[in-house]
């Protein structure tokens, strides 16, 4: 590495450290775990006033380009903010809205409506959601080669309107969204269509998740909008969706790592303070071994996610990007769930109680590990993508 490149890398590292410190300080002060506990199971599952505070920090516009009123930062910066909020179990849908929907709107830059929606998102005045998954388990989300499957939802033209029929599941942030970017099949291939929440023929069914936040099922019965609501179609739509999906997957893995890190910290603190037979239980060798195993899992996941973030910020694209995303999410999901299980066991009886904050992180890990495909689904996708890449190289 040249001296110039090393200086740039060191400056970027220092900027990330400053952002990490600032985000952690803000989250700890403004979003204690008691706030997350109080919001559980109450629609919309998060605090709209706190979302405005996030916008005031500039975080809703962190990824958006400067032309949309954002700051044009990378995924590494977004991961620091998401990690700080995850450490406090904050329920705000930062990744579904800012990362997934925001990047998708950015990929539809040829649409005037997409540019306006992205500017509103960056300002914190709207909450767009991506409606793309159609089956309950996520098994049908990927095709035989690991690419995103074609949607069963249909977009047809008629009487001067775009008409959508079908259904979507696991749409976040649920019925609180100001509108939905719906994936559909059309005569021009994949279509990305903007449906405002008030669109006739659109019915939103709220679903409360394990951590008390909300998602939604969308029922589309010839939901009609003007042709100008077509954000992108064909190849542009496919590329925009694939990129936004993979980047959201990596950031979800980063948030899982933050949850895992917090659970490890909580467990180590408990092992140091809980006494049995006159000694801190952390002095027992068998428990030390289990704590080390947790630390190793957390560090392995963090290393894989850091590699993926750096590669995507450096411009990794196509199959390479999808492989990095699948690998990071599989490792992050498995590590977070393993650490959650071990943390509960090492906490003993108190770990099973709802009153202990460990449960907040465990439940969030359950939800986040399943979002956009759990560890098993990501490993299958990685295998399919690897096989396709190998066949392409051989050809």
- Give me the residue label for tokens 């959601």: 129
Indicate whether 379 pLDDT > 80: yes
Q: Is 3 a member of any domain?
A: no
Please give the pLDDT value at position 394: 61
Please give the pLDDT value at position 290: 94
Please give the pLDDT value at position 391: 64
**163, 114 contact by CB (below 8 A):** no
**Last residue of some domain: 95, 126, 157?**
126
Whether residues 217 and 261 share a domain: the answer is: no
Whether residues 241 and 379 share a domain: the answer is: yes
Please give the pLDDT value at position 380: 94
Q: Is 100 a member of any domain?
A: yes
**171, 215 contact by CB (below 8 A):** yes
Report DSSP state, residue 148: B
On average, the pLDDT of the chain sits at 94
Instruction: Give the tens place of pLDDT for each residue, 262-291.
Output: 999 999 999 999 888 888 887 788 899 999
Q: Is 342 a member of any domain?
A: yes
Whether residues 211 and 341 share a domain: the answer is: no
Please give the pLDDT value at position 8: 81
Compare 153 and 145 and report the one with higher pLDDT: 153
**96, 215 contact by CB (below 8 A):** no
Q: How confident is the model at residue 1 (pLDDT cuts 50, 70, 90)?
A: low
Instruction: Give the tens place of pLDDT for each residue, 87-99.
Output: 999 999 999 999 9
Q: Structural domain of residue 343, as residue ranges?
A: 236-394
Please give the pLDDT value at position 349: 87
What CATH number does the domain containing 213 carry?
2.40.110.10
Sign of CA dihedral 314, 85, 363, 171: negative
Q: How confident is the model at residue 395 (pLDDT cuts 50, 70, 90)?
A: low
Whether residues 324 and 205 share a domain: the answer is: no
Instruction: Give the tens place of pLDDT for each residue, 155-172.
Output: 999 889 999 999 999 999
Give the count of domains, the chain. Answer: 3
Instruction: Give the tens place of pLDDT for each residue, 303-312.
Output: 999 999 999 9
Q: What percent of the chain has pLDDT over 90?
A: 84
Sign of CA dihedral 11, 298, 35, 128: positive
Indicate whether 322 pLDDT > 70: yes
The tokens of 351 are what?
A: 């770990």
Alpha-carbon distance of 81 to 17, in angstroms, equals: 11
């Amino acid at each position: 590495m040249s001296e110039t490149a090393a200086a740039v890398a060191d400056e970027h590292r220092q900027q990330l450290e400053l952002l990490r410190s600032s985000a952690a300080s803000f989250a700890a002060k403004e979003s204690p775990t008691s706030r997350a506990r109080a919001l559980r199971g109450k629609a919309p599952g998060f605090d709209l006033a706190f979302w405005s505070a996030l916008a005031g920090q500039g975080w809703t516009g962190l990824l958006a380009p400067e032309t949309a009123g954002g700051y044009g930062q990378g995924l590494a910066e977004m991961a620091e903010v998401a990690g700080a909020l995850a450490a406090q179990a904050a329920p705000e849908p930062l990744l579904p809205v800012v990362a997934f929907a925001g990047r998708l709107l950015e990929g539809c830059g040829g649409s005037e409506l997409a540019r306006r929606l992205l500017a509103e998102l960056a300002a914190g005045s709207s909450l767009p959601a991506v409606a793309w998954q159609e089956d309950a388990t996520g098994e049908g989300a990927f095709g035989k080669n690991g690419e995103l499957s074609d949607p069963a939802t249909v977009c047809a033209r008629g009487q001067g309107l775009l008409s959508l029929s079908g259904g979507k599941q696991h749409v976040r942030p649920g019925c609180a969204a100001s509108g939905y970017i719906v994936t559909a099949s059309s005569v021009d291939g994949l279509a990305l269509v903007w449906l405002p929440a008030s669109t006739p023929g659109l019915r939103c069914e709220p679903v409360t998740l394990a951590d008390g936040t909300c998602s939604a099922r969308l029922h589309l019965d010839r939901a009609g909008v003007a042709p100008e609501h077509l954000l992108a179609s064909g190849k542009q739509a496919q590329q925009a969706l694939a990129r936004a999906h993979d980047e959201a997957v990596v950031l979800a893995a980063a948030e899982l790592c933050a949850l895992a890190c917090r659970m490890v910290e909580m467990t180590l603190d408990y092992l140091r303070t809980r006494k049995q037979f006159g000694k801190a239980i952390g002095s027992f060798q068998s428990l030390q071994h289990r704590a080390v195993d947790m630390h190793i899992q957390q560090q392995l996941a963090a290393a894989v996610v850091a590699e993926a973030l750096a590669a995507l910020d450096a411009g990794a694209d196509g199959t390479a990007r999808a492989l990095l995303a699948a690998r990071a999410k599989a490792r992050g999901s498995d590590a977070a769930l393993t650490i959650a299980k071990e943390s509960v066991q090492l906490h003993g009886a108190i770990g099973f109680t709802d009153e202990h904050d460990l449960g907040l992180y465990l439940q969030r890990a359950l939800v986040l590990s399943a979002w956009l495909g759990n560890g098993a689904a990501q490993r299958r996708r990685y295998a399919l993508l690897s096989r396709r890449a190998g066949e392409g190289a051989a050809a």
